[in-house]
Amino acid sequence: ASPSTVTVSQDAAGRWFVSLLCEDPSVKPLPATSAAVGIDVGIDVGLDHLLTLSTGEKIANPRHERRDRTRLAKAQRQLARKARGDGANRAKARRKAAEVYARITDRRRDHLHKLT
């Protein structure tokens, strides 16, 4: 199937993304199921642990921002020292802070993706 919509976007960290939307008539929907997580396994989202299952298994919260805290603090300080406006140095500092935030976000998303 050919793409019917192409979207190109850039995030605050300067990374580019391309999204393709297309229809594929050969894809069939999955059959309906009555299985659910809550039937024999319960999940509790907490502060001490990321997840606690009803089986007693606890999954640790990786707290990714703690490892990048010094880099984030430095980038935010550099950005705070720049005068507001259209300056190139402020834009570079803003992008650097956005890159640190993007790293934290990507690491969180990756951990949740691997977990689920």
The residue ranges of every structural domain in the chain are 62-116
Looking at residue 116, what is its pLDDT? 80
Q: Per residue in 13-27, pLDDT tens?
A: 999 999 999 888 888
Closest Cα partner for 56 from 46, 67, 41?
41
Digit-coded pLDDT (tens) for 44-76: 666 677 777 777 788 888 777 788 899 999 999
How does DSSP assign 10-59, residue by residue? Answer: E-TTS-EEEEEEE--TT--PPPP----TTTT--EEE-SSEEEEETTS-EE
Most distant CA pair in the chain: distance in Å? 58
Which tokens sit at 97?
A: 């802070």
* Torsion over CA: 104, 106, 110, 112 (sign): positive
pTM of model > 0.75: no
- Determine the Cα–Cα distance for residues 60 and 104; give it in Å rounded to an integer: 17
